[in-house]
Amino acid sequence: MDHTPSTSATYAWLNGAPEGRHSALIRSFLLAVAAVDGSPEVSADGPLPRDFRGGAHLLATVGDELVGYAHLDTEGDAFGRQVVEAFIHPDARGRGIGTELVRTVLDRAAGGVRFWSHGNHPAAAAIAARFGLTKVREMLKMRLDLSTADLPEPRWRDGVRVRTFVPGQDEAALVEVNRRAFDWHPEQGALTVADVEATEKEPWFDPAGFFLAVDADDRVLGFHWTKVHPGGEGEVYVVGVDPAAQGGGLGKALTLAGLAHLVDLGLSEVILYVESDNAPAVTVYRGLGFERAEAHVQYSSTVDTDRG
């Protein structure tokens, strides 16, 4: 670990996956943040969320207390851009720790690094402005009340049927369709077979809620991967359609198939995340009754032309 001095806290970098005391300290910190902000998603036991396992970790401490934390994804997104998740403990906000945290990250990170601001918090916007960072991406969180939604039956075009995902069989086909469907997306486009297999081991994974649209030869044309959170909230986790199979309402039909599954489970609420500039998807979701709940944005010193 190497240290960066600060008048208000000690800032130390930890490289690699946190273990032992550091892992417990970061988990306790993230749980305290999530209790107030609603994110990040972290469990009280088990491994840290995948987003916080590798890369570099910046710990801001006062004595033995962790007051600020930033994770720097050194491998980067699908376009090679480093990405930062930064948080301040709810009891330590308003002390300038966030500003120093961002300054320390910028001193280490590669050019064009991107900072997430979940909920587009005003304090994050102020810090971004202080360092000349501009908003380069906006992701919407949308919500649907299933108890009042009037959802139509899915309509499948001729030659298409729907079945559920088979672990050990469908990973490669799924990843190939996903690659073509999300070649523009900073995170989803980088999905690998290993990522899918790792997710299959997560407690929430359920192949019964993972729908594939296939043709007469069982070739995967599109998919809808649903998720049920520990608190009982459903999610349209990912909907993807092969560009060669787009048109004819396949994405909408897949979305409806997954929503029907979540209704059958007795869930009353479902969420999804969608890029604000993905107008076709936003239009479909609004047509089904989804409403904007909040926005998550990324700030960067570099404005590039990639859609993501």
- For the annotated binding site, the residues are 86-88, 187, 227, 235, 239-241, 246-252, 273
CB 128 within 8 A of CB 134: yes
CB 27 within 8 A of CB 59: no
Going by the annotation, the residues of the binding site for acetyl-CoA are 86-88, 239-241, 246-252
The three-class DSSP label of residue 282 is helix
CB 90 within 8 A of CB 61: no
The three-class DSSP label of residue 123 is helix
Q: Residue 80 and residue 77: Cα distance in Å, rounded?
A: 5
Q: Residue 251 and residue 242: Cα distance in Å, rounded?
A: 10
**Angle at alpha carbon of residue 49, lines to 46 and 53, rounded to 5°:** 100
SS3 content of the chain, % helix, strand, coil (to 5): 30, 30, 40
Cis check for the bond before 40: say yes or no (omega within 30 of 0).
yes
Tell me whether residue 231 is exposed, middle or buried, using C-beta atoms within 10 angstroms of its C-beta: 0 to 12, 13 to 18, 19 or more: exposed
In whole angstroms, what separates CA 86 from the centre of its chain?
Answer: 14
CB 298 within 8 A of CB 115: yes
Q: Residue 260 and residue 156: Cα distance in Å, rounded?
A: 15
Picking from 101, 103, 143, the residue whose alpha carbon sits closest to that of residue 9 is 101
What's the 3-state SS for 195-253?
HHHHHCCCCCCCHHHEEEEECCCCCEEEEEEEEECCCCCEEEEEEEECHHHCCCCHHHH
How many other CB atoms are there within 10 angstroms of residue 1's CB atom? 9
